[in-house]
Amino acid sequence: MGTLPVIEAPDWYETIRVGDDITLIHEPWIKPFFRCNIWHVRGRDRDLLFDTGLGHFSLKRHVPLVSERKLTCVASHTHFDHIGCHHEFPDRCVHSAEAAILADPRNEW
């Protein structure tokens, strides 16, 4: 039986530039079925980050792209694999039906 690889924080995220101002960020060590696509879109005045993954390691610390400019962080929904690093960003939003969960993401909902 093989051993599991030990993944260090700097290797947790992978970025793929898909357009001039659009970057896909994902967690390649997570099986694709459970993986969230994290999208970074560079805007004129500020950037948009759509979802933040599992949060196993700090997105802000290990993906410099997300801390270069003012940024709004949007959650498509509040499943754990989509809001793991939302707490790292002060300007964050989600649909009003799930705002209480994003504000206090406990396992009780």
Sign of the torsion formed by the C-alpha atoms of 11, 38, 61 and 32: negative
Q: How far, in Å, are 3, 9, 33, 57, 95 from residue 47 at the CA level?
A: 40, 24, 27, 21, 19
Residue 109, pLDDT > 60, answer no
Measuring CA to CA, which residue among 56, 48, 50, 49 is closest to residue 28?
A: 56
Which pLDDT belongs to residue 108? 66
pLDDT (tens digit per residue) in 35-81 = 899 999 999 999 999 999 999 999 999 999 999 999 999 999 999 89
pLDDT of 1: 62
**Which tens digits make up the pLDDT trace of 5-33?**
888 888 899 999 999 999 999 999 999 88
The answer on pLDDT for 83 being more than 70 is: yes
Q: Which two tokens stand for residue 105?
A: 């993401």
